[in-house]
């Protein structure tokens, strides 16, 4: 009983438990034949939500009102620009990657400049920014669908020891994020700001610097995800980031990160991302139509929140 | 003359709307007519109603990320059930409003983050809308169409409707005791509770009223478009939030302004028309809308500073 309570106190346990339950029901329904395929597909698609989710988590940790809505536009722009520059040449892969990261840094800086200089609430600042970024993406894309370089696309779609490469990248990023969050001064600072920005200021924490780095970090991760997603799906599309707006917020919060900030959780993002994709594929397996699938997805999200609920929340 | 701080809050949205309108008239003098104004502001009516709904949620320090899908859902109900069998249609819409009230209660009792709960609900409303209208279709009920295309003398319907919406919600939110209490929950929940009011009830009321106005938004939208589809109003989520902020509202503290919210919605609608008059290439129209948002907010910062300087000379 005691052990149960300690385990239950870990906020990320809920999302993992939910993911496992959904996985088992789906595999059981198909008679066990889909176990490997389902796991691989889940890891692949969850990887993209994990990468953007980690970035969003850092931003949400900063406290109430901090959310980056420019994630989808950033993904689209970095994917488009990178593919255009690489122009199907294997030799340009690194240049494309650097360019994608540069796009991320530029958007992050722009976001924070708006928040700081115009004192706009982050939600509106990143929203306005995303409109501008989206326009840039439309202008760069011009309806052309450029293929990713052969080497890059085969890397993004293949497996190492049966694990999708994109999932390994997501794992690497998550481990780095965890170290950054739990073991570094920067991580302690963002938690401190999220818990009480006033107390953090009194303690001499450089609030502006920390928030600036956080918004840039989030945009860079979104850009990286856009680069990978475009390579994975064989080209950049203008709406490729769209579903990741709600997804990036949902995985962070279902994963047990406090919406009020100051308390974040990297493992939970994994549980939540796996869970979100598994729910969709479970409902697909059962052969539900699009409408029923959406309704059940929503009800399941709310059920998980209710089960894990009761945490201190501001919004 | 000394202006109250509430009035100063309204100055910025009103000025930006006036400037934008002047720019549109300058570029397209023919817009300065009954028909022109009606065309410019037609689509503003549903957006204004959705913005008011979002404002009610924001006045209790919450945020509704399902506004767009909910308005789409109510539009689908309007174009199907409300048109073919009005009794069932009204029942469904009443049920949807009750669902909103229930959300307010659940969010309060379980101390859940409203962002996530409404995020989940956005899937539910979207799914229901898809079930109702898998492909675009339906038809607007005659009376809805009649109201939305009515031609009152002198002033176009879109303007009349906006003024009526602003007046009614101003009375409801700023003058009635219920409105004051709801804003009080946003300002200081504990003191409202200690004064003996039921915070659960107030939240339920705020959510139910938001649901009601969002339902009106859906009905009004169908009256204009004559048919509906499941994705008809998805952008209303972000538009409604931007409208509230443009109108001088705040995310926390119960500081909202219904008149400002309606003006904010009008400004956002006009920004779209303004850009098409400017002959900006479609590639850049979304970006220019972002830029307009930024400029207006910069203006607001500037005026806020003026206000502060006046307070502590």
Residue B249 lies in a domain: yes
Question: What's the pLDDT band for A2 if we cut at 50, 70, 90?
Answer: low
Instruction: Please indicate whether residue A146 or residue B90 has the higher confidence score (pLDDT).
Output: B90
Residue B309 lies in a domain: no
Instruction: Please indicate whether residue A62 or residue B297 has the higher confidence score (pLDDT).
Output: A62
Residue B93 lies in a domain: yes
Residue A65 has pLDDT above 80, yes or no: no
Residue B1 has pLDDT above 50, yes or no: no
Residue B28 lies in a domain: yes
Q: Which of A195-199, A278-282, B272-276 is predicted least confidently?
A: B272-276
A119 neighbourhood in chain B, CB within 8 Å? 301
d(CA A105, CA A172): 20
Residue B77 has pLDDT above 90, yes or no: yes
Task: For A163, list phi and psi in degrees, rounded to 5.
Answer: -105, 130
Interface of A with B in 237-256 (CB under 8 A): 246, 249-250, 253-254
Within A99-192, strands assigned E span 159-160, 163-164
Residue B312 lies in a domain: no
Highest mean pLDDT among A86-100, A144-158, B215-229: B215-229
Is the Cβ of A5 closer than 8 Å to some Cβ of chain B? no
Per-residue pLDDT tens for B226-243? 888 888 888 888 789 888
Interface of A with B in 181-210 (CB under 8 A): none
Measured in residues, chain A has a length of 315
The strand pairing partners of A160, in sequence order, are: A163
Per-residue pLDDT tens for B110-119? 877 787 788 8
pLDDT of the residue at B58: 92
pLDDT of the residue at A312: 44
Q: Cβ separation of B301 and A118 shorter than 8 Å?
A: yes
Per-residue pLDDT tens for A39-53? 888 888 889 999 999
Instruction: Tell me the pLDDT of chain B averaged across its residues.
Output: 86
Q: What CATH number corresponds to the domain at position B281?
A: 1.10.3470
- Architecture of the domain spanning A12-27+35-308: Orthogonal Bundle (1.10)
A118 neighbourhood in chain B, CB within 8 Å? 294, 297-298, 301
Q: Cβ separation of A118 and B115 shorter than 8 Å?
A: no
Is the Cβ of A296 closer than 8 Å to some Cβ of chain B? yes
Question: What's the pLDDT band for A7 if we cut at 50, 70, 90?
Answer: low
The total of structural domains in chain B comes to 1
Q: Domain residue spans in chain A?
A: 12-27+35-308
Residue A313 has pLDDT above 50, yes or no: no
Q: Which residues in A157-184 are b (16+ Cβ under 10 Å) and which e?
A: beeeeeebbbbebbeebbeebbebbeee
Q: Which of A20-29, A266-275, B278-287 is predicted least confidently?
A: B278-287
pLDDT of the residue at A276: 84
Owner of token pair 């997603």: A229
pLDDT of the residue at B137: 84
3 state DSSP class of B227: coil
ipTM of the complex: 0.78
The strand pairing partners of B217, in sequence order, are: none
pLDDT of the residue at A223: 92
Q: How far is B151 from chain A (nearest CA, A)?
A: 35
d(CA A255, CA A61): 13
Instruction: Tell me the pLDDT of chain A averaged across its residues.
Output: 81
pLDDT of the residue at A219: 92
Domain span at B196: 5-304
Instruction: Please indicate whether residue A142 or residue A208 has the higher confidence score (pLDDT).
Output: A208
Question: What's the pLDDT band for B169 if we cut at 50, 70, 90?
Answer: very high
């Amino acid at each position: 009983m005691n052990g149960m309570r300690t385990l239950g106190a870990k906020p990320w346990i809920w999302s993992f438990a939910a993911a496992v339950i959904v996985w088992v029901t789906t595999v059981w329904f198909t008679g066990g034949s889909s176990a490997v395929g389902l796991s691989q597909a889940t890891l692949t698609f969850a990887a993209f939500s994990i990468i953007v989710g980690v970035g969003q988590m850092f931003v949400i940790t900063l406290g109430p009102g901090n959310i980056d809505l420019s994630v989808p536009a950033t993904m689209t722009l970095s994917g488009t620009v990178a593919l255009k520059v690489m122009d199907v040449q294997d030799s340009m892969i690194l240049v494309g990657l650097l360019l994608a990261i540069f796009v991320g840094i530029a958007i992050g800086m722009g976001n924070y400049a708006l928040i700081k200089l115009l004192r706009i609430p982050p939600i509106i600042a990143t929203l306005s920014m995303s409109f501008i970024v989206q326009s840039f993406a439309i202008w760069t894309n011009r309806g052309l669908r450029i293929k990713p370089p052969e080497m890059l696309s085969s890397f993004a779609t293949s497996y190492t020891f049966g694990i999708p490469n994109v999932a390994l990248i997501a794992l690497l990023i998550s481990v780095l994020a965890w170290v950054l969050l739990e073991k570094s001064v920067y991580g302690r600072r963002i938690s401190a700001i999220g818990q009480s920005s006033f107390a953090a200021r009194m303690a001499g924490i450089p609030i502006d610097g920390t928030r600036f780095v956080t918004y840039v970090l989030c945009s860079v991760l979104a850009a990286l995800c856009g680069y990978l997603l475009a390579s994975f799906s064989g080209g950049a599309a203008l709406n490729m980031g769209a579903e990741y707006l709600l997804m990036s917020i949902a995985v962070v919060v279902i994963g047990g990160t406090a919406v009020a900030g100051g308390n974040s959780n990297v493992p939970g993002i994994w549980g939540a991302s796996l869970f979100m994709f598994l729910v969709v594929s479970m409902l697909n397996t059962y052969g539900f139509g699009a409408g029923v699938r959406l309704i059940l997805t929503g009800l399941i999200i709310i059920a998980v929140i209710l089960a894990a609920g009761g945490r201190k929340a501001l919004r | 003359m000394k202006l109250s701080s509430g009035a100063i809050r309204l100055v910025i949205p009103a000025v930006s709307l006036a400037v934008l309108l002047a720019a549109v008239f300058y570029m397209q003098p023919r817009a300065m007519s009954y028909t022109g104004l009606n065309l410019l502001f037609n689509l503003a009516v549903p957006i204004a109603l959705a913005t008011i709904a979002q404002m009610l949620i924001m006045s209790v320090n919450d945020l509704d990320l399902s506004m767009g899908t909910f308005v789409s859902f109510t539009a689908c109900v309007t174009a199907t059930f409300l048109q073919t069998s009005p009794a069932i249609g009204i029942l469904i819409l009443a049920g949807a409003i009750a669902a909103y009230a229930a959300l307010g209660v659940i969010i309060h009792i379980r101390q859940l983050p409203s962002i996530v709960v409404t995020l989940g609900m956005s899937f539910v409303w979207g799914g229901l809308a898809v079930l109702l209208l898998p492909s675009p279709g339906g038809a607007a009920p005659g009376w809805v169409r009649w109201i939305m295309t009515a031609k009152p003398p002198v002033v176009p319907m879109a303007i009349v409707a906006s003024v009526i919406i602003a007046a009614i919600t101003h009375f409801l939110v700023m003058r009635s005791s219920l409105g004051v209490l709801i804003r009080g929950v946003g300002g200081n929940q504990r003191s409202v509770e200690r004064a003996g009011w039921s915070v659960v009830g107030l939240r339920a009321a705020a959510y139910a009223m938001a649901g009601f106005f969002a339902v009106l938004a859906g009905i009004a939208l169908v009256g204009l478009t004559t048919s509906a589809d499941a994705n008809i109003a998805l952008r209303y989520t972000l538009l409604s939030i931007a409208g509230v902020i443009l109108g001088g509202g705040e995310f926390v503290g119960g500081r909202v302004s219904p008149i400002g919210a309606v003006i904010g919605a009008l400004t956002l609608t006009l920004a779209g028309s303004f850009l098409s008059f400017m002959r900006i290439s479609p590639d850049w129209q979304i970006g220019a809308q972002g830029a307009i948002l930024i400029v207006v907010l910069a203006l607001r910062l500037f005026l806020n500073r003026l206000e502060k300087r006046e307070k502590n000379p």
